[in-house]
Amino acid sequence: MTTVERLENWKRAGVITDVQYGLLAALVRRERFSLFLEINALLYLGVLSLAGGLAWTFTTYFQRLGDFFILAALSALLAGSLYYCFSRTPAYSNSEVESPNIVFDYVLYFACLVLSVELGYIEFRFEWLRDAWNNYLLFSSVVFFVLAYRFDNRFVLSLAISSLGGWFGIQYSTLRFSSSAPLRTAALFYALVTALIGVFLHRQGIKKHFLETYLHIATTVTFVALISGLSDKTANGFFFAVLIASVAAVTLGLRFKRFMFVVYGIVFGYIGVSYEVLRSVSVFGEVLMYFVATGSVVIVAVFFLARRFAREE
């Protein structure tokens, strides 16, 4: 019996209404499909492009427009965006809070970008911090953290964590190390701190649904740092560290039903294994055959795991 036939039986039995049947049947026949993710991504890209256009315009024509006009315009945009957000959001809650309307998240994201543009312009024109300009990233990160928790926005939280990571990386790069090992250690330490912050706040009951955002960033940074160590001839054990991290990501992803962490484990583990296998291979044909054969296996494995997760949900 097909799904459409089951829906017809449910309609005849009165389990679902005619309207519900029409909607569900259209979805099953793929007559309708959701464009939410695509539209959402395009809207965020539009907001990013608008902020980027403002930054380009002001830095290109600052002599014509004048510093006072530019800073006043940016401050007005920032103040207006924040006023809109504060005037329409409900009271703060440690639990998850739904956005008051469809425009709210984009206005909040725009406010964060405008703040970044204004801080960048201030340093571009006046160089108040000079060599310590990376502290703008730290300040931005703190503000983004406050806004993310106040308005329950995981996208802004990602901006906050990324800005903190940028400050962390620049802070270490100014020490002028002769090798990449200290930077790699700093990245692993940053990933550990990020994960611990997320776990601590989760256990305190503060925006528990934010934990995944912390773990996504921490996991990605960890794998990138470990894989970068594979090319370091003076380092040992990075290959086994990648394998251990991959097994842990897959195991925990399956246990807690978080498919993306399973994908992290498979993809980054595959990259690590491939690097080791192909380290001594220089024939292009052999490399191509390896990726064709093994890449197909990885894609099929991810596909079947995705279907398994979809059935369980």
For the stretch 195-237, pLDDT in tens is 999 999 999 999 999 999 999 999 999 999 999 888 776 556 8
If asked whether residues 73 and 105 sit together in one domain, one would say: yes
Query: Nearest 5°: phi and psi at 61?
Result: -115, 30
Residue 189 pLDDT more than 70? yes
Residue 3 pLDDT more than 60? yes
Q: Which of 49-53, 147-151, 190-194 has the lowest mean pLDDT?
A: 49-53
The band of 30, judged by pLDDT with boundaries at 50, 70 and 90, is low
Q: Specify which of 176-180, 257-261, 298-302 reaches the highest per-range mean pLDDT.
A: 257-261
Domain boundary, last residue among 176, 196, 229? 176
Residue 145 pLDDT more than 80? yes
If asked whether residues 17 and 65 sit together in one domain, one would say: no
If asked whether residues 13 and 46 sit together in one domain, one would say: no
The band of 84, judged by pLDDT with boundaries at 50, 70 and 90, is very high
* Domain count across the chain: 3
Residue 20 pLDDT more than 80? no
113 within 8 A of 48, measured Cβ to Cβ = yes
Residue recorded with tokens 């390896």: 290
Tell me what percent of the residues of the chain surpass a pLDDT of 70: 87
If asked whether residues 19 and 74 sit together in one domain, one would say: no
> What's the chain's length in residues?
313
pLDDT of residue 194: 94
pLDDT of residue 292: 83
pLDDT of residue 29: 60
If asked whether residues 120 and 231 sit together in one domain, one would say: no
Residue 7 pLDDT more than 80? no
If asked whether residues 9 and 45 sit together in one domain, one would say: no
If asked whether residues 52 and 2 sit together in one domain, one would say: no
**Closest alpha carbon to 213 in 235, 195, 228, 230:** 195
Average pLDDT over all residues of the chain? 84
pLDDT of residue 219: 95
Which residue would you say has higher pLDDT here, 92 or 42? 92
pLDDT of residue 244: 94
Cα(267)–Cα(250) distance, integer angstroms: 10
pLDDT of residue 66: 87
If asked whether residues 155 and 44 sit together in one domain, one would say: yes
Tell me what percent of the residues of the chain surpass a pLDDT of 90: 38
Cα(285)–Cα(133) distance, integer angstroms: 48
Cα(269)–Cα(25) distance, integer angstroms: 40
pLDDT of residue 310: 62
If asked whether residues 63 and 107 sit together in one domain, one would say: yes
The band of 56, judged by pLDDT with boundaries at 50, 70 and 90, is confident
Domain boundary, last residue among 120, 141, 176? 176
**Closest alpha carbon to 298 in 267, 277, 273, 275:** 267
If asked whether residues 96 and 226 sit together in one domain, one would say: no
If asked whether residues 171 and 44 sit together in one domain, one would say: yes
The band of 174, judged by pLDDT with boundaries at 50, 70 and 90, is low
Domain boundary, last residue among 158, 176, 194? 176
DSSP class of residue 213? H
Structural domain span for residue 49: 35-176
If asked whether residues 235 and 312 sit together in one domain, one would say: yes
